[in-house]
Amino acid sequence: MGETYEAAGVSIRAGEDAVAAIKDDVRSTFRPEVIGDIGGFGGLFRFDPSRYRDPVLVSSTDGVGTKAQVATATGRFDTIGLDLVAMCVDDLVCSGAEPLFFLDYISVGTLDPAHVKQLVAGVAEGCRRAGCALVGGEMAEHPGTMAPGEFDLVGFAVGVVERDRMLTGERVSPGDVLVALPSPGLRSNGYSLARRLLFDVAGRSVDDPAWDGAGAPTVGEELLVPSVIYAPFIRALTEAVEVHGIAHITGGGLPGNLNRALGERTDAVVDPGSWEWPRIFSELQQLGSVSTDEMRSVFNLGVGMVVVVPSEAAHRAVDTLRTAGTRARIIGEVVPGDGTVRFDD
């Protein structure tokens, strides 16, 4: 008997089963612009040129980092797809763009169709929340180089914005107000440090009970709290209120992301007393005596998105966001400067 691809660890059959298992989830995301079905050489999305004067396609790619390892250790694969969509589409909306479509790439050690179905169900749920169609994807089996149960998840999102409505930082002006949207957990950033603190420094495991005040019963589930997808809230906001800038707070925290929404002639001054860190962040800080500066430059600390609005629109912005379904609060202001984020400690 000769050697086969199957014997080398790649199962064509498991791939076909996995595609069959995800079809309904994928189709549930289709917008009217989607042409065809899954299985073609490319995802197909009609773009109506009469709807735009000078459209700009905005695109973004991101992964879920080592949050994937927490999912594997915990055995929960149904929510990390939400994190993936959040990471990608919430970058898009910072330009003022409407998300149109999404693609996912899943690499696994061993292709388990039930496992893939959970991952894609999460991605599809995220796409429905964000209003974008899941038009394509790839499943790659990497036997020998990834352990069974191990996976990586990468996403790509494309959106569109009219060029003259694109947010570039130019509109941000001294006197503008910073409106923060809350994040209950780490989103998908800082997991290498969080895992080191919890598992290496403190010697805990994912099945250990979480700390007092945690929203989830175990350390693993607390770490897996899914990322909020802000895209629908931001869309509701930009339709109702003049917005000068938007920043998605991911790796780099407020200092490394809010600066990207500023122009070159303004600073953002954040009042650290204006909100309380979700409990997980204080817990992580204590475990490793992590400095507050380090915490701020690694984690979102409870602020996942910042919207910059004129001061006279601030309260309407908070009300609009609340009506759209999220809390929001003012955490600081814009002053003359050079594009830096400062904390008013």
Name which of residues 19 to 48 contact its own copies (CB under 8 A). Answer: 35-36, 39-47
Among 82, 94, 229, 308, binds its own copies (CB under 8 A): 94
- Residue 22 structure tokens: 């995800």
Nearer of residues 2 and 203 to its own copies, judged by Cβ: 2
Residue given tokens 């499943």 in the structure block: 139
CA separation, residue 318 to residues 15, 86, 98, 158, 189 (Å): 46, 21, 21, 27, 26
Among 29, 60, 79, 118, binds its own copies (CB under 8 A): 60
The window from 73-81, 102-110, 172-180, 337-345 that contacts its own copies (CB under 8 A) reads 102-110
Among 65, 113, 304, 332, binds its own copies (CB under 8 A): 65
Positions 303 through 332 that interact with its own copies (CB under 8 A): none
Nearer of residues 53 and 212 to its own copies, judged by Cβ: 53
Per-residue binding string, its own copies, 191-210, x by CB under 8 A, is -xx-xxx---x---------
Positions 164 through 193 that interact with its own copies (CB under 8 A): 166, 168, 190, 192-193
User: How far is it, in rounded angstroms, from Cα 155 to Cα 212?
Assistant: 34
51 CB-contact burial (10 Å; exposed 0-12 / middle 13-18 / buried 19+): exposed
Q: Shortest Cβ distance from residue 138 to its own copies (Å)?
A: 5
Query: Any contact of residue 219 with its own copies (CB under 8 A)?
Result: no
| Beta-sheet strand order (sheet of 177-182) | 245-248, 303-309, 177-182, 329-336, 266-270, 341-343
Instruction: List all residues 6 or more positions away from 130 whose beta carbon is below 8 Å from its beta carbon.
Output: 85, 89, 99, 102, 157, 229, 231, 232
Query: Any contact of residue 158 with its own copies (CB under 8 A)?
Result: yes
Nearer of residues 269 and 287 to its own copies, judged by Cβ: 287
Q: Shortest Cβ distance from residue 197 to its own copies (Å)?
A: 6
Residue burial 100-126, b: 16+ Cβ < 10 Å; e: rest: bbbbbbbbbbbbbbebbbbbbbbbbbb
Nearer of residues 3 and 345 to its own copies, judged by Cβ: 3
SS3 for 218?
strand
Q: Shortest Cβ distance from residue 71 to its own copies (Å)?
A: 12
Q: How far is C-alpha 265 from the geometric centre of its chain's CA atoms?
A: 28
Positions 137 through 156 that interact with its own copies (CB under 8 A): 137-138, 140-145, 150, 152, 154, 156
Nearer of residues 19 and 315 to its own copies, judged by Cβ: 19
User: How far is it, in rounded angstroms, from Cα 272 to Cα 344?
Assistant: 7
Nearest Cα to Cα of residue 298 among 266, 240, 253:
253
Among 14, 22, 26, 58, binds its own copies (CB under 8 A): 58
User: How far is it, in rounded angstroms, from Cα 220 to Cα 124?
Assistant: 23
User: Could you tell me how many residues of this chain bind its own copies (CB under 8 A)?
Assistant: 90
